[in-house]
Amino acid sequence: MRRLLPALAVSVIVVVTGCSEIGDRIDEATNDAAASALTNAVREELQRAGIELDGDPECSTDLDREGVGLTGTAECSGSTVDGQSATASFDGTFSSSGCEGSLQIEVDGRQIADLPEIPGCSVEASGG
């Protein structure tokens, strides 16, 4: 029995570590989906204003799972084709039923959009 306990302890550690890694991968994929939704919204809102981005903006998220949604902030920054600075910030909730909160988009410090949601957004908070 004493020989079995160390092997059992190692097995439990491996299983717990594996679950943690899977959870981390799910969280990373979900955060990537939220950043992608924001990237698409920024591009579309700027196009509506007649402004074209030079490539994709760099986006990052700081989100926590809350029930079936993700709550927190997301930030993007990039440049327009004519070299102006473009930034976006979202503070709210990403979910499969929509992304509500405050979305602000600026180009060289002037506000382009101030919206109560990310239009057409849907992000599934997987795992748990």
**What six digits make up the tokens of 38?**
């924001």
Residue 33 has what pLDDT? 82
Q: Measured between alpha carbons, how far is residue 111 from residues 17, 42, 90 in Å? A: 45, 12, 14
What is the pLDDT, as a whole number, of residue 51? 96
pLDDT for res 69: 82
Highest mean pLDDT: which of 2-6, 18-22, 82-86?
82-86
Residue 123 is assigned to a structural domain of this protein: no
Query: Which residues, 6+ apart, have CB-to-CB distance to 10 below 8 Å?
Result: none
**Residue 17 pLDDT class (50, 70, 90 cuts):** very low
Number of domains present in the structure of the chain: 1
Taking the C-alpha atoms of residue 107 and residue 10, their distance in angstroms, rounded to an integer, is 54
CA distance 40 to 37: 5
pLDDT greater than 60 at residue 34: yes
27: pLDDT confidence band, cut at 50, 70 and 90? low
Domain annotation covers residue 128: no
Q: Is residue 111 part of a domain?
A: yes
pTM of the predicted model as reported, rounded to 2 decimal places: 0.75
Domain that holds residue 69: 4-117
In a domain? residue 125: no
pLDDT at site 12:
40
Backbone angles phi, psi at 98, to 5 degrees: 145, 175
